[in-house]
Amino acid sequence: MIRLDHFVVHIEQDQTKLESLKGKIEPIGFPFNPTSGKRTKGFQVANIWIGDQYLELVWLKTKDGGGWRKEWVEKYNRGLRGIFGLCLMTDQLDSLKNELLKRGVKASAPERITFKMLFGLLKKSLPFRCVYTPPIPGTDLQIFFLEMDSQEKYDFMRKYFMKPNAEKNGITGIKEAVVRCQFSEEAWKYIRAIFPSLSGGERMATYDMGETKLHFVQSDELGLKVELLAATTNEDLANESFEIENVRVTSILV
C-alpha cells in the first residue's frame, strides 16, 4: 500500500509572514501553529496538518542547515523556495527500493533522519526510514518514500504530534494532488519509471492510490506548481483556498 504523506516546502525565515498566514488560513478551517514542529540550531519546521497529510514548511537558520538534507540546504542557500519533496508512505520500503533500481531509478539506500538537539547535547532519530529518488529531470522536485518503524509509533505520532489538525473542522485529507510543469520527454519517462501503473496520456497522467489521486499535468507555463484539493464535509468551508510559494490548497466538498 502506498499513500500520500506530505510535501516539503521551503519558505523564508519570517515569523511575521507565518503569523499572517495563520491569520488567513485558520478562518477557512486550517488551524496552524507556526511555532511548533521539529527544529535544530540550523533549521526549523512548521506543519499544516490536513488529516493524515500535511505541508512541511521549512526554513534554515544557519548556512549549514543544522542537519537538514544536504542537497536541499544547497538549494535553499541559492535562494530556491517552494516544493522540493513529495513524500509517499509505504509498508514495503526495501522491496520498493529494489523495484525502483530494477526500473533504472537511482534510489538511495534506506536512510533514517537523525539530527542534534539542545546545542548538540542530544541526538534524535525519527521513527521511520526514507528512500530518496533523484529530482524529476528539469525540476527540483524529489519524490521519496517513507516507512514507519511500526504502526504503534505512527499511532503515537498521530495522537500527540499531528495537531492542530484541519480534520477537527471536517477537512479530512488531500483527495487530489496536481503537479504541473513543462515536463520534458525525459521527465515523463522518469515519472513513469517511478510509477509504472501510471494511467493517462501525454498531457495528464494519474497515479491512483485509492483515497488520493496524484496527477502529473503538462503545463504551458514555466516553473513547477502544485495544487492540492482537500476534501471537506463542511459546506461553509468548501471552495476556500490559500497559497504558499508554488503551492495552492483548495477545499472541495465531498
When pLDDT is cut at 50, 70 and 90, the band that residue 214 belongs to is: very high
Name which of 217, 219, 239, 244 is nearest 229 in CA terms: 239
When pLDDT is cut at 50, 70 and 90, the band that residue 201 belongs to is: confident
Residue spans of beta strands (DSSP E) within the chain: 2-10, 43-50, 53-60, 82-90, 111-117, 122-132, 142-148, 171-181, 199-200, 204-208, 213-218, 225-232, 241-244, 247-253
Share of the chain above pLDDT 70, in %: 97
Domain range annotation of the chain: 2-253
Q: What is the CA radius of gyration of the chain?
A: 18
209, 197 contact by CB (below 8 A): no
Mean pLDDT of 46-65: 97
119 pLDDT higher than 80: no
- Predicted pLDDT of residue 167: 97
- Predicted pLDDT of residue 70: 92
When pLDDT is cut at 50, 70 and 90, the band that residue 116 belongs to is: low
Share of the chain above pLDDT 90, in %: 88
Q: Three cell numbers at 98?
A: 529494489
- Predicted pLDDT of residue 121: 63
d(C-alpha 57, C-alpha 51), whole Å? 16
149, 127 contact by CB (below 8 A): yes
CATH class of domain segment(s) 2-253: alpha beta
Q: Which amino acid is located at 58 in the chain?
A: V
- Predicted pLDDT of residue 171: 98
When pLDDT is cut at 50, 70 and 90, the band that residue 202 belongs to is: confident
Burial class (CB in 10 A: 0-12, 13-18, 19+), 158: middle
Mean pLDDT of 236-250: 97
89, 203 contact by CB (below 8 A): no
Average pLDDT value over all residues in the chain? 94
pLDDT tens digits, 88-112: 999 999 999 999 999 999 999 999 8
State pTM to two decimals.
0.94
When pLDDT is cut at 50, 70 and 90, the band that residue 118 belongs to is: low
d(C-alpha 138, C-alpha 19), whole Å? 34
114 pLDDT higher than 90: no
When pLDDT is cut at 50, 70 and 90, the band that residue 248 belongs to is: very high
Burial class (CB in 10 A: 0-12, 13-18, 19+), 245: middle
When pLDDT is cut at 50, 70 and 90, the band that residue 67 belongs to is: confident
